[in-house]
Amino acid sequence: MKKMGPQLKKPNHITRRAMVTGSLFGLGAGSAGIVSGLCLPHSAFGAGPKPVDIAAAKQIEGACRLLPEAVEGPYYFDPKLVRQDIRDGRQGREISLVLKVVDGVSCQPLDGVRVDVWHADARGVYSGYDSQGDKRNISARGEDYLRGTQISQADGLVRFTTIYPGWYPGRTPHIHVKVFLNRMTLLTGQIYFPEELSQRIYSSFEPYVKRPVSDTRNSNDWLFQSAAKEGGGIVMTVDSEEDALVASLVIAVDKSG
């Protein structure tokens, strides 16, 4: 995979304030009680890379809500890959992930904001690290799958094509996200999935069926539950279609830090 884009630098100081508003595809079901957004039909996506209906997305209503800051965890690094499709050959149930970054005061879209995402593969293994897997005997050092960067446009949107993350011991399925407003202001968060959806994916689709029963769910994940103290672990609404899942969230950030 060709590495593209600018050599993006990590900020040397981070803030802990950020906000979230409703999903582009319905009501986010986290314990924060995320406000409902505008429901969009899957037909708005078309074929191939599934671009969201921009005009409809701009009609999202609702007050912005605080998004709990989440720890970065041990598996982050910046591969400097500006790309939409982050699968890099990893097998699994396809997801179209659409994030919209807006200002937490005006809820207007933010242009030119860097968004990083990263997560585990279907086996629950992150790229770039060793000593992983159920027996801590899997190494993915030197690889950079399921990691990528996008820069928001005038509509505030970034899009990623990825796969449903697998589980690994002690954690419920999740996707990590970083939003860089500038070199001094950064949001680090985690996005979660409905428990019943994870159970269905793991019991029905290859290669998840090789490990169909996760040892941790949202209800007993320590990080998800600790986020509940600040408003709740954020559970996305996911629209299921035959060829892919469509997950979306509007993330509002406090530019003042």
Containing domain of residue 32, as a range?
19-253
The predicted-structure confidence for 11-32, as pLDDT tens digits, reads as follows 333 333 444 444 443 322 222 2
pTM, to two decimals? 0.78
Residue 49 has pLDDT above 70, yes or no: no
More confident residue, 173 or 16: 173
In this prediction, residues 230-244 reach a mean pLDDT of 73
Q: Please state, as a whole number, how many other Cβ atoms lie within 10 Å of the Cβ of residue 141.
A: 10
pLDDT at 162 over 80: yes
Does residue 193 sit within a domain? yes
Does 7 fall in a domain?
Answer: no
Q: Are strands 245-253 and 157-163 parallel, antiparallel or unpaired?
A: unpaired
In a domain, 9, yes or no: no
Average pLDDT, the chain: 76
- Name, in order, each residue with C-beta under 8 angstroms of 253's C-beta and a sequence gap of 6 or more: 17, 18, 19, 101, 102, 103, 104, 110, 113, 179, 181, 185, 187
- What is the Cα 91 distance to its own chain's centre? 18
Number of domains within the chain: 1
pLDDT tens, 92-107? Answer: 999 999 898 888 878 8
Q: What is the pLDDT of residue 181?
A: 85
215 vs 227 pLDDT, higher one: 215
pLDDT at 179: 92
Looking at residue 64, its pLDDT comes to: 59
- Kindly state whether residue 2 falls inside one of the protein's structural domains: no
pLDDT at 232: 55
Distance CA 203, CA 187 (A): 34
In this prediction, residue 38 has a pLDDT band, given cuts at 50, 70 and 90, of very low
Note whether residue 6 is domain-resident.
no
Residues contacting 242, CB < 8 A, separation 6+: none
Whether residue 171 contacts residue 241, with contact meaning beta carbons closer than 8 Å, is answered with no
Residue 137 in any domain: the answer is yes
pLDDT higher than 80, residue 172: yes
Highest mean pLDDT among 5-19, 115-129, 188-202: 115-129
Residue 96 and residue 44 in contact, taking contact as beta carbons nearer than 8 Å:
no
Q: Within a domain: residue 77? A: yes
pLDDT band at 228 (very low <50, low <70, confident <90, very high): low
Whether residue 205 lies inside any domain: the answer is: yes
Residue 112 sits in a domain whose CATH number is: 2.60.130.10
